[in-house]
């Protein structure tokens, strides 16, 4: 008897794996407007409104290291991670639910610190914590976040709505969280085994904040509404610019051109990259965890977008046949590659 073929996850890539696992699921309820395949699910609430729901998980040893990640900051970041997916649908986050797998190495006081960070973030962002679950964990601290939001049906921005000639826009700057993580990892290695270690963070405080305590861009969603702009597509920048832009291209069946000189990179990001002999552009393209917003708007909206401030137009949408590429100052096109996609 022949053995059943074993397929390694690495053969598919993250996004192809999700497609394979969920391909048989189809919506049976008329209220399910969007299921798998976007930043969040969209449920019809009637009266022209929708409920938007997302879930995320943070795993010790994979997504965070408690050696250098203060639990207050982790609590704050958990909220940001959860509601960023809601914001990426152009919706307003309203509630979160937390499920925790708790390691026996954590005392009650440590969990109180975590919830202090959650409380601070909820107060700052106007979010309600409305429930959750706790259980024992044998593999370290595990955080599960379910976020719930609301929007007008016509205001929802899916990944699939980008059109040819749309402008590609991003908020904030990219690569800072990635370099903040590398700074922490460097100091952890250098100071290993040293009593009373004194890590060297001076001059790079912004990078640490971007990684340890990223702020949600609820302000951008409010500004878009004030300007009367509904993005044609939008995504949370959590996996890196290349991956997330390719997600939009894949969903919208389009290509893209982004311009190297237009990608905003903070001075501290470039400075640390130079110090560590790294490329800040690679950090911006593939670093992830920035939790900024990547969105597209019609060309006619350019003046309104620029009036908002804090938004950079970094390129435009092209035909699907052109693929997604980074354009260098000399006019060369470099094909975008991203983790999570298996190269053909």
Task: Tell me the domain boundaries of the chain.
Answer: 30-155, 159-191+204-335
Residue 86 has pLDDT above 90, yes or no: yes
Give per-residue pLDDT as tens, 256-293.
Answer: 999 999 999 999 999 999 999 999 999 999 999 999 99
Give per-residue pLDDT as tens, 43-54.
Answer: 999 999 999 999
Give per-residue pLDDT as tens, 306-327.
Answer: 999 999 999 999 999 999 999 9
Average pLDDT over residues 71-83: 98
The HSE-up count of residue 54 (CA atoms within 13 Å, CB side) is 27
Helix (H, G, I), strand (E, B) or coil at 251: helix
Average pLDDT over residues 21-27: 87
Reduced 3-state DSSP string for 34-90: ECCCCCCEEEEEECCEEEEEEEEEEEECCCECCCCCCHHHHHHHHHHHHHHHHHCCC
Residue 344 has pLDDT above 70, yes or no: no
| pLDDT-above-70 percentage for the chain | 97
Which of 140, 69, 135 lies closest to 98 in space, CA to CA?
135
Which of 342, 246, 344, 242 lies closest to 8 in space, CA to CA?
342
- Residue 157: predicted pLDDT: 98
Residue 251 has pLDDT above 60, yes or no: yes
CATH architecture of 159-191+204-335: Alpha-Beta Complex (3.90)
How far is Cα 5 from Cα 149, in angstroms, rounded to an integer?
A: 42
Which of 303, 68, 271, 88 lies closest to 179 in space, CA to CA?
271
Give per-residue pLDDT as tens, 91-125.
Answer: 999 999 999 999 999 999 999 999 999 999 999 99
- Residue 338: predicted pLDDT: 65
228 pLDDT tier (thresholds 50, 70, 90): very high
How far is Cα 123 from Cα 127, in angstroms, rounded to an integer?
A: 7
CATH architecture of 30-155: 2-Layer Sandwich (3.30)
| pLDDT-above-90 percentage for the chain | 84
Residue 3 has pLDDT above 90, yes or no: no
Which two tokens mark 33?
Answer: 């407007």
- Residue 248: predicted pLDDT: 97
- Residue 24: predicted pLDDT: 87
Residue 57 has pLDDT above 50, yes or no: yes
Residue 340 has pLDDT above 60, yes or no: no
How far is Cα 102 from Cα 84, in angstroms, rounded to an integer?
A: 24
How far is Cα 261 from Cα 263, in angstroms, rounded to an integer?
A: 6
Average pLDDT over the chain, rounded to an integer: 93
Residue 341 has pLDDT above 50, yes or no: no
- 């997916």: which residue's tokens? 85
């Amino acid at each position: 008897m022949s053995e059943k073929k074993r397929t390694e996850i690495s053969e598919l890539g993250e996004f192809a794996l999700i497609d394979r696992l969920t391909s048989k699921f189809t919506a049976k309820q008329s209220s399910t407007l969007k299921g798998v395949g976007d930043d969040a699910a969209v449920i019809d609430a009637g009266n022209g409104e929708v409920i938007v729901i997302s879930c995320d998980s943070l795993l010790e040893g994979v997504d965070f290291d408690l050696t250098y990640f203060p639990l207050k900051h982790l609590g704050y970041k958990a909220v940001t991670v959860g509601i960023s997916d809601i914001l990426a649908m152009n919706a307003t986050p309203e509630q979160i639910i937390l499920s925790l797998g708790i390691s026996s190495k954590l005392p009650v006081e440590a969990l109180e610190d975590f919830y202090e960070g959650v409380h601070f973030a909820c107060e700052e962002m106007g979010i309600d914590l409305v429930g959750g679950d706790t259980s024992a964990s044998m593999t370290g601290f595990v955080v599960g976040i379910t976020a719930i939001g609301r929007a007008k049906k016509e205001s929802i921005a899916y990944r699939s709505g980008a059109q040819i000639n749309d402008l590609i826009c991003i908020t904030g700057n990219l690569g800072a969280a990635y370099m903040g993580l590398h700074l922490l990892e460097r100091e952890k290695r250098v100071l290993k085994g040293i009593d009373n270690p004194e890590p060297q963070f001076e001059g790079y405080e912004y990078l640490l904040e971007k990684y340890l305590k990223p702020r949600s861009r609820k302000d951008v969603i409010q500004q878009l509404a004030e300007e009367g702009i509904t993005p044609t597509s939008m995504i949370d920048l959590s996996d890196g610019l290349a991956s997330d832009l390719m997600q939009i291209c894949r969903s919208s069946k389009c290509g893209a051109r982004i311009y190297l000189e237009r990608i905003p990179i903070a001075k501290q990001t470039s400075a640390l990259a130079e110090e560590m002999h790294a490329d800040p552009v690679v950090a911006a393209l593939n670093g992830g965890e920035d939790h900024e917003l990547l969105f597209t708007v019609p060309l006619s909206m350019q003046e309104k977008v620029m009036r908002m401030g804090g938004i950079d137009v970094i390129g435009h949408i092209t035909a699907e046949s052109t693929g997604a590429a980074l354009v260098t100052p000399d006019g060369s096109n470099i094909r975008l590659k991203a983790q999570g996609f298996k190269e053909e």
